[in-house]
A and B are shown apart, each in its own frame.
Chain A
Amino acid sequence: MSELSRFQEAFSDALAGELAPLAPWIDGEGAEARFAVHRNTIARGCAEALADQFPTVRRALGAARMAAGAIAFSRQHPPASPSLMTYGAGFPDWLASFPPAADLPWLAGLARIDWARRDVLFAADRPPLGPETFAALAPAAYATTAAALHPATALLWFDDATPSLWRALQADDAPAEIELAARPEGLLLLRPGLEVAHRVLGPGAHAFLSACRAGLSLAGAGERALLAEPGLPLSQTFTDLIAAGAFACVRPAAALVP
C-alpha cells in the first residue's frame, strides 16, 4: 500500500473511532482537539443535508432530536456521493428502527413523503399535458391509450392517514399535538412548474394513477379506480388530475395486466 493510501486509511479510521491509527503522522501536542474540527465538520455537513431533505421530520422531532438522529444515521450510513442532495435515501427505513423514535410510529412515513418530495423537487422539468389532448381523444381510444405521469410526480399509499398528518405539518401553524387517523390514504406530490404541490388521495384516485403509472389504458385505469372506490366520481377525478398537471403525454397502452 502506498504512503498516501496508508495515511488516508488511518485518517478514515480515526474519523470513525480513535485517533491512534493516525499517531505516526501526528506532529505536536493537542491533536485530539484539533482533529475534532474534522469530526465536527463532517457530522454537521451530514446533519444539515438530512435536515434539508427531511424538513417535516425535523419539524416533528425538533432541531435537537433531528440532529441527534441524523448524526447517528450518518455514522452507520455515511454519504457515498459528494452530491449531498442525494444523501438520505435510507433514512426513512432507518428511522423506523431508531430507538428514540419508537413512540413515533408515523415518523418513518413522514420521512418517506419528505424524500419523495425531494425527488419531485429535483426531477426533470416538463410542461404538463393540458385538457385539449384528452378532449381530442375519440371514445374508442380510451381503451388503447395510456396517460403517462409527469416526470416530477410521486405517488404514495399508506395504511393510515400519514398523508393528512404530513399535510398538517406543512402549515406554519402546524398542530402541536400529532394525531394520526386510521383511515388509509394516498398522496400525490407533483411539480408541474417550479413549485411542488400535493393532494391527498382516496383509494379510487390512487388506483387510477397507479394504473396510469403501470401503463394501463385510460379505460382500464378507470375500471381499477371504480373497483377500489365504487362511488368515485371518475370523470371529475380525471379532470381534476389533468388540471393539477399530473400527466406528461399520452401513449399506446401496455398490454393489460390481469
Chain B
Amino acid sequence: MPHGLTAGVSLKPQHFADALQASAPGLWFEVHAENYMAEGGPRLAGLAAVAAAFPISLHGVGLSLAADEPPDAAHLAAWARLVERFQPALVSEHLAWSQRRGVYAPDLLPFPRTGEALDRIVGNVARLQDALGRQVLVENPALYLPLKGHEMAETDFLAELVRRAACGLLVDVNNAFVSARNLGYGAEAYLDALPADAIGEIHLAGHAPDPGLGEAMLIDSHDAPVAEPVWRLYERLIARVGPRPTLIERDDKLPPFAALIAERDRAHQVLTRTPAHV
C-alpha cells in the first residue's frame, strides 16, 4: 500500500492527546479539511503535532464537485494552503453537491447521473487536482431518495469519472451498504463492479435506522461502530482488490479513543492477512 498505511482512524480535536500517545504499525489519521481552515490557533497546532508523528489524510465535505458551477474559489485556495502545509498522504472529496449560487447546504446531495453531470464533475475534479497539484480520491455517496433520470449506473459513472479525470476512488463500504438497502439493489454486486485499480482508500462507518422509517431506511450516521454486514462486505472487497488504506470513520457520539483503535485493529488484521495483488 502507498506510504505503508494500513488502517487509520478519523480524528477529532478531543482525541489529539490520545493520538499523540498511540503507536501501531500502519496507523494514520484523517480529518475534515473544513475544520482546519483557520490562520492559527490550538486546533491547527494540534493537527500539526499529529501530522509530525503520523501520516494524515485530508477529507473534504464542501467542494460540491457535482454542482453546476466550479468549486468556490476561496474554498479551493484554503484547500491548497492546507495541502501545502500538511502534505497529506491522501486527499478526498465526495460525488455530491452542497454549494451553488453562493449558498452552502451542509449535506451531500444527490443528482441524476447524466452525461452532462459527468462532464461537469470531470471538469470540477480537474480544477481541484490542478489547484492542489495532486490526485484526489472521490467517494461514493450514501443515497436516500430514488431519482428518475439516471443515464448510468453509479459504478459505471465512477469508472468513467476515474478514466476521464485521472482521479482515484474512495470506496465507502458503509455508504454502499446504506444506499443498496435504501434504493433496493445488491451491495455485493455494486462493490464487485468498481474498478479495483482506482481504489485508493476505503471508509468504514456505522449507520442507524431512520427514526421515522426504521430499518427500511438506513442513515449514514457515523455515530456507531461498524456493523457486521459492512465488515463482511469489506472483507469481500479486500479479498478482491487487495489491501488498501482503510479508515474507521466516526463523527458523532464519539467513543473513547481506545474503542476506535480496537475497530481500527480489526481492519488492520484484514489488511495484513491479505497478500497484495499484483
**Which residues of chain A have a CB within 8 Å of any CB of chain B?**
2-5, 7-8, 11-12, 15, 24-28, 30-31, 33-38, 41-42, 45-46, 49, 78-86, 121-126, 151-152, 191, 194-195
Contacts and interface: CB of A to CB of B under 8 A. Distances in A.
A41 B107 contact: yes
Contacts of A124: 39-40
B106 A194 contact: no
Contact of A33 (B97, B106, B217): B217
B35 A82 contact: no
B102 interface: yes
A80 B68 contact: no
A28 B61 CA distance: 29
Given A34-B217, A85-B35, A123-B40, A26 B107 contact: no
| List of 7 A-B pairs having minimum Cβ-Cβ separation, nearest first | A82-B62, A45-B106, A125-B40, A122-B38, A27-B146, A194-B42, A124-B39
A78 B103 contact: yes
Contacts of B147: 25-27
B106 to A, nearest CB: 3
A4 B100 CA distance: 12
Contacts of B157: none
B53 to A, nearest CB: 18
28 contacts: A4-B111, A4-B116, A5-B68, A7-B111, A8-B67, A11-B111, A12-B100, A24-B148, A25-B147, A26-B145, A27-B148, A33-B212, A35-B145, A37-B144, A37-B145, A79-B104, A80-B102, A80-B103, A82-B75, A82-B99, A82-B106, A85-B35, A122-B38, A122-B41, A123-B40, A123-B41, A125-B41, A194-B41
A24 B112 CA distance: 11
Interface of B: 34-35, 37-43, 45, 61-64, 67-68, 72, 74-75, 78, 97-107, 109, 111-112, 114, 116-117, 120, 144-149, 182, 210, 212-213, 217, 219
B67 to A, nearest CB: 7
A82 B38 contact: no
A81 B77 CA distance: 13
Contacts of B101: 12
A191 B41 contact: yes
